[in-house]
Structure 1
Amino acid sequence: MGAGRRAPATEWVVGWVVAALVVVAIVVAVVVVAGRFTSDSAGNAARKPYASTETVTVDDRSVTVHLPPSYVDGTPLPLVMLLHGYTASGSLQERYFRITPEADRRGFVYAYPDGTLDRTDKRFWNATDTCCDLYGTGVDDARYLHDVIDALKRRYSIDARRVYLIGHSNGAFMSFRMACDHADTITAIATLAGSTWNDISRCRPSDPVSVLAIHGTADRTILYGGGTLSQHTYPSATRTATDWASLDGCAGPGADQAALDVIADLPGAETAVREVASGCRGGSAVYTWTIDSGVHIPNLGAAFTPSVLDFLLARAKA
């Protein structure tokens, strides 16, 4: 049986009920000017080392930022950003992945922004032609998230060589989009149940980006073997990974690794791990985790998030 158990997740995000979030933290007033935010307190005085969670605003959208107990201004820490799925929110996605305890334990700055509300009041990211700007708003989320990262770098002590994205579903598509458009900023991404451009010529990363692509073989929302959504095609999980190995200039052979037990309600070591190719530019890496019988929103075991973070935090830009 899978390692650890979490509350069962439904197959799609709609209908989740969120308990009220009580935050014991210092409240920071925020002033937003042209996509940037500043504290109303005097100057940028060094913070005392403590865990705190702040809600800030960038371009009229909220971003929750969690600082670990080890955070002190002037000592750069990695940044991990979580991108939610269609219809969800940053806080819902955090309840699913539970990254905050890992941020405190490992010492990284953690942020989870919210996408745009569409005309049916569902949040989305405009990632690719497939997903998920269903009503054609044309919002430039790649620019927006780049602005968020820049704003966080100005506000906090962030190690620019270690900026990571984790995305689920629509957030996974958006993570791939950010790796395509802002490879100079993004060090590595980990995606669950998402894909990249079907026409990979639309992805032109300036730098190599490490990729961990996770997908369940029984996903009926974003099919493991590829499919069509919004009348546009998305590639299979395998082709998504091999396309990225090509983009990263990986010249060597791949290899299977030891399987993982990271899904709570599936028996044994259900997740096959493969290094897609080796010899990638800039020390980058492309891996797949294939969850045998995994669905779109798998019941994550206790080892899932720590294992994802192990992959990400081991990467740094040259």
Structure 2
Amino acid sequence: MNCRVPRRASALLALLLAAVTLISLPPPVEAQQGTLRERIRERMAERREGRKSDAPPTDVSDAELASPGTHTGRLDVMGQTRRFMVHVPPGYRPGQPMPVVLAFHGGGGSMELQADDSRYGLISKSDSAGFIAVFPNGYSGLPGHHLATWNAGGCCGSARDSGSEDVAFVRALIGHLKQRLSVDAGRVYAIGMSNGGMMSHRLACDLSEQLAGIAAVAGTDATSTCQPRRPVSVLMIHALDDDHVLYQGGAGPKAFRDTSKVMDFVSVPETERRWVQRNQCSAATQPVLERPGATCVRHSGCADGVQVQLCTTETGGHSWPGSDRSRPGKEKPSQALDANDTIWAFFQSLPRR
């Protein structure tokens, strides 16, 4: 016997099911660089997609660290336990020194986020180019060490407010890696996104003797004082329409609702001017790349053969150029240039320090 539900009852049942579905839907995911609530929403979305695990990572032994693959580790630095990830490419061979790229996540991010190949592609670039990719984790008071920030000087968040010893952490991390891996000490580089880019600028100021060059994406100089022990090469990549760290300076209206967690960001031109002065470069520029949507220029005549280079994209907002993945509700990253290719080509053009 067929049981048929009357049309009116069927429509009522459909409405009830729709209401239950709406109630159970998660809050919309906002930008990572927003308020704490917005960042937590994005983290929840990442968990639902299975991109993260709340289980603490298992640290590998020193012997395992020196084998190809992606590993996690921790260091005790000035009374705090600091975490990091290391990706050793398949081409790594003990006894054959390999370059190292330290990649710093943005404010409110984590080492897992920066190591997410679908977002940044750095692990794939490590494998194809042949460098050891290192993903340090910023300062976080949370049990899972997420929503972390970097003390880059004037920015950002709890790392800045607590006076987190992030430079000491990076110094110790470089030493730790040199003891356990075959590292080319003359080819150690720092790169970063947003607050991580600002951290790269600070490292160029405070650890210039250990770095052959830095690259900052969507992050300007946040230091109040900078006295590098030696000149250091600097690459900046920034979008004209960045709505977080504005190209002409300041925090954009869409950047943070709580501006006390950030700063009145230094402009891209001022950051460029500072590094030209510090590295004793010529104010004149030479074109390196000109194509629809992107330009790169280089300052010549810098001390010790270093370079200062600026790449500007017309669009892309606050993102990693070349990535094919947009943050929900945000500008699609510029495809006019690929940040990973541009950064690695810049590093390869530099002399070994």
2:240 is the alignment partner of 1:217: yes
AA partner of residue 270 (structure 2) = R
Q: Which residue of structure 2 lines up, in the alignment, with residue 6 of structure 1?
A: none
Partner of 1:122, secondary structure, is coil
The change in CA–CA distance for 1:134 and 1:147 in structure 2 (over 3 A counts) is: closer
Distance 2:90 2:126 in 1: 9
Identity %: 29
CA drift at 1:178 = 0.5
- Once the two structures are overlaid, the 10-residue window that deviates more, 126-135 or 13-22, is 13-22
The change in CA–CA distance for 1:101 and 1:134 in structure 2 (over 3 A counts) is: closer
CA displacement, residues 113-145 of structure 1 (integer Å, 9 cap, x when unaligned)? 111114696211111123243672111101111
The structure with the greater share of residues assigned to strand is 1
2:127 is the alignment partner of 1:104: yes
The change in CA–CA distance for 1:104 and 1:226 in structure 2 (over 3 A counts) is: same
User: Segments of 4+ in structure 1 off by > 4 A?
Assistant: none
CA drift at 1:20 = 4.0
AA partner of residue 236 (structure 1) = S
The change in CA–CA distance for 1:219 and 1:10 in structure 2 (over 3 A counts) is: farther
Q: Which residue of structure 2 lines up, in the alignment, with residue 246 of structure 1?
A: 277
Q: Residue 79 of structure 1 contacts residue 162 of structure 1 at CA under 8 Å; is this kept in 2?
A: yes
Q: Residue 83 of structure 1 contacts residue 171 of structure 1 at CA under 8 Å; is this kept in 2?
A: yes
AA partner of residue 102 (structure 1) = K
2:342 is the alignment partner of 1:307: yes
2:78 is the alignment partner of 1:54: no
Once the two structures are superposed, the pairs formed by residues 98-247 of structure 1 within 5 Å of their partners are 98-118=121-141, 122-133=147-158, 136-197=161-222, 199=224, 202-227=225-250, 230=260, 232-247=263-278
Partner of 2:208, secondary structure, is coil
Once the two structures are superposed, the pairs formed by residues 80-91 of structure 1 within 5 Å of their partners are 80-91=101-112
For normalisation by structure 2, the TM-score amounts to: 0.72
CA drift at 1:99 = 1.0
Gaps of 5+ in 2: 1-28, 34-38, 252-258, 321-332
Distance 1:62 1:198 in 2: 24
CA drift at 1:259 = 2.3
Distance 2:158 2:312 in 1: 27
Two-structure CA RMSD over aligned residues (Å) = 2.7
Distance 2:223 2:138 in 1: 23
CA drift at 1:147 = 0.9
AA partner of residue 292 (structure 1) = E
Distance 2:189 2:317 in 1: 24
Q: Which residue of structure 1 lines up, in the alignment, with residue 254 of structure 2?
A: none
Distance 1:293 1:127 in 2: 26
Distance 1:249 1:71 in 2: 37
AA partner of residue 93 (structure 1) = Q
Distance 1:12 1:88 in 2: 8
Gaps of 5+ in 1: 1-8, 31-37, 261-268
Decide which structure has the larger Cα Rg and report it.
2
Distance 1:149 1:282 in 2: 23
CA drift at 1:166 = 1.2
**Relative CO higher for 1 or 2, CA cutoff 8 Å, sep ≥ 6?**
1
Q: Residue 162 of structure 1 contacts residue 313 of structure 1 at CA under 8 Å; is this kept in 2?
A: no
Distance 2:160 2:90 in 1: 42
CA drift at 1:155 = 0.9
The change in CA–CA distance for 1:238 and 1:210 in structure 2 (over 3 A counts) is: same
AA partner of residue 233 (structure 1) = D
CA displacement, residues 216-267 of structure 1 (integer Å, 9 cap, x when unaligned)? 111121111112553743321011012101111113621233225xxxxxxx
Distance 1:212 1:252 in 2: 15
1:271 pairs with 294, 301, 305, which one? Answer: 294
Q: Residue 131 of structure 1 contacts residue 173 of structure 1 at CA under 8 Å; is this kept in 2?
A: no
Q: Residue 150 of structure 2 contacts residue 159 of structure 2 at CA under 8 Å; is this kept in 1?
A: no
- Once the two structures are overlaid, the 10-residue window that deviates more, 119-128 or 239-248, is 119-128
Distance 1:296 1:20 in 2: 22
Distance 2:200 2:121 in 1: 18
Matched positions, count: 281
AA partner of residue 97 (structure 2) = P
Distance 2:341 2:112 in 1: 19
For normalisation by structure 1, the TM-score amounts to: 0.80
The structure with the greater share of residues assigned to helix is 2
CA displacement, residues 191-210 of structure 1 (integer Å, 9 cap, x when unaligned)? 111111364xx100011111
Q: Which residue of structure 2 lines up, in the alignment, with residue 4 of structure 1?
A: none
The change in CA–CA distance for 1:132 and 1:310 in structure 2 (over 3 A counts) is: farther
